[in-house]
Amino acid sequence: MLAAFLPPYPFRSVPAPYLWCYYRLLCEWATESCMFITGRDYVRLIDQWEDRWECTADAATRLDYSLPKNTQPPQHHYAWLDEGRFDDWLRIHNHNPLAVFRHFLCERDNAYEEELHAILCSAPNRIEAVITFLNVPSLSAVCQRLGIPVIHQELGPLRGHIYRDTAYFDFQGVNGNSEAANRERNFRDWSLTGLKLADLLMFFLKDPSFIKRLPGKTSEVGIALQVEDDSNLVAFGNGMDNQSIILAARSQVATSSLLIRPHPGSLFTLREGSIPIDESLTSLEFVARCKKLMTINSSVALEALFLGVPVTIFGDSSLCHLATESPHSVSLVRRLAFYVFAYLVPRSCQLDPCYLRFRLDEPDEKTIIEYHLDCYMRDDDMTLPKENDFEDLQTKLLAQVWASNQVRTHHNERLQVLTDQVNMLSKELTDVNKRLIEEGEAHGHAIQVVEQITEQLNNLTKQHSDTLDELRIREKKIEECNEILNKIRNNRILRLYINRFILKL
């Protein structure tokens, strides 16, 4: 059975700190019976969490998981870690949570190893591997004694809305203690003649034409800052922090020649006006503005390598061995290609049980690269070439990279044309709607005037009818009076009386 180690300790004042990883594992391992070594907060019902970004639909979509209706599926086995141990560590480290975090990431702990040993030995079935999202020396030591592989994972350096999504997959460590350099050093199966850094970058950009829209150089040195309490800085920064790297850069060039890109997850903001701050929409655009990049161990370093920008990495990183190469050199292209196609994995493979077992079978690098290439080709909806269509892996990789870049470039150009057409039609539709609204308003005004005239006409018609009725009544009265007068005229006695007595008065 597969197992996942998800520490419950609030190193950064947040319980269940790897909650999104747990939710994604529940989706990826839905048909498996697995073991979770974790804390009880992870199995809280969704509606019991308040203001957790992991419980939003946006986060679930962005990180490829569904919000679980059952947060503790019955097919899985759960082993609960002693969460009180965190308070013990705090007392030892002067109640400094980051010091505890550093201890957890860098040092072995005998008491903790005893707890982990007992938990792993209590598994109902043989554990094939333990998945962890951070380096834990105690976990690695116990698993080594028990003969259990440890797979270190994390979101890869290429992700977001402009790149294919990648992930780290490492049997030694993630960022710190990485196996990337050793694996690449032992691989000499290609020269990749003709391949350029731009080809590699275009392959991993969702829109290859994005590379043509990058800005020019404006700053001597760019500084990529990181989250202050991130494990990369806490454990693998070699003593450097955000303040230190700014001071190091200012000792080399004038402050006005720097360009600093703060991390969006930082708890602090730089004071405006004190130093140039990058406001690029993407980190790739930021790197394109810089003649040189400095970072502790940010993944932005990979983008600098893609663009041929010299990069200084102060901390421990899986990219350190590549930062020593000359920009745009044949050697850098060859080594960087291994890094992105062999070391990094497609994120869709990261937690897939089939892929995990594929890697546990210890395939050679050629087989791993072909597996990854096939995943990327499927993402592009491209027909996979047959094995015998290529003489070797190098030819296959070059053909697929160039074919993918060409197809996606054409696709995105066509998509841009269609998008422009849609935008034009949308504008025309907006104009038509505007005219319709204006005509509708005019029509409405005309209807209002007609209704007013109609009302006035109805009033006049009623008045006319009433007048006619009144005239008819008056005519009837006149007729009655005439009849009376006629009767008087026809009555001789009455007429004599009138003439004799009334008219003479």
Sign of CA dihedral 268, 135, 167, 195: positive
For 355-397, the pLDDT digits (tens) are 999 999 999 999 999 999 999 998 888 765 555 555 688 888 9
Q: Virtual CA dihedral for 85, 90, 92, 98, nearest 10 degrees?
A: 120
Q: What is the pTM of this model?
A: 0.83
Calculate mean pLDDT across residues 50-65: 93
Q: Are 81 and 37 in contact (CB under 8 A)?
A: yes
Closest CA to 127 of 31, 30, 36, 2: 2
Residues with Cβ within 8 Å of 199's Cβ and at least 6 positions away in sequence, in order, are 401, 402, 405
Calculate mean pLDDT across residues 8-27: 96
Calculate mean pLDDT across residues 492-501: 71
* Maximum average pLDDT range among 130-139, 185-194, 430-439, 463-472: 130-139
Query: Going edge to edge, which strands form the sheet with 345-346?
Result: 77-80, 35-38, 2-5, 129-132, 150-155, 166-170, 345-346
Q: What are phi and psi of 263, to 5 degrees?
A: -80, 135
What's the confidence (pLDDT) of residue 474? 78
Closest CA to 2 of 77, 63, 80, 98: 77
Calculate mean pLDDT across residues 283-308: 97
What's the confidence (pLDDT) of residue 152? 98
What's the confidence (pLDDT) of residue 502? 65
For 297-311, the pLDDT digits (tens) are 999 999 999 999 999
Calculate mean pLDDT across residues 86-104: 96
* Maximum average pLDDT range among 320-324, 480-484, 489-493: 320-324
Length of the chain: 505
Is residue 505 predicted with pLDDT exceeding 60? no
The token pair that represents 244 in the structure block: 């230190």
Give the range among 146-155, 297-306, 487-496 with minimum mean pLDDT: 487-496
- Three-state SS string over 118-149 comes to HHHHCCCCCCCEEEECCCCHHHHHHHHHHCCC
What's the confidence (pLDDT) of residue 429? 84
